[in-house]
C-alpha cells in the first residue's frame, strides 16, 4: 500500500515538471472549401494548404528557478 502511495505521489510530482503540446490542422483543412475536391489525376499531390499535418512539442520544465526564501528584492 505504501509503495502505491509513493509511486502515485512521485508521478504527480513529476507530471508538474513536463508537458507536451499537440497541434494539428485537420479541422481547418476540413472547413476549407478549396480542399473539398480530390485531385483529378490519380497520384497527384494535394495542394500544400490542403495537407493535414500534426506536430508535438515536448517541454521538460527546466525553466526559471523559483525563489522560496521569502526575501523580497
pLDDT tens string 27-49:
988 898 888 877 667 788 878 88
- Is the pLDDT confidence value at 63 over 80? no
- Is the pLDDT confidence value at 50 over 80? yes
H-only helix segments in 2-50? 2-15, 26-31
The pTM assigned to this predicted structure is 0.44
Residue 16 is classified by DSSP as: T
Amino acid at each position: 500500500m505504501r509503495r502505491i502511495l509513493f509511486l502515485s505521489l512521485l508521478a504527480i510530482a513529476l507530471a508538474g515538471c513536463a508537458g507536451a503540446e499537440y497541434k494539428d490542422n485537420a479541422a481547418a483543412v476540413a472547413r476549407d472549401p478549396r480542399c473539398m475536391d480530390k485531385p483529378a489525376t490519380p497520384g497527384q499531390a494535394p495542394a500544400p494548404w490542403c495537407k493535414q499535418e500534426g506536430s508535438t512539442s515536448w517541454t521538460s520544465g527546466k525553466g526559471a528557478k523559483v525563489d522560496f526564501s521569502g526575501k523580497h528584492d
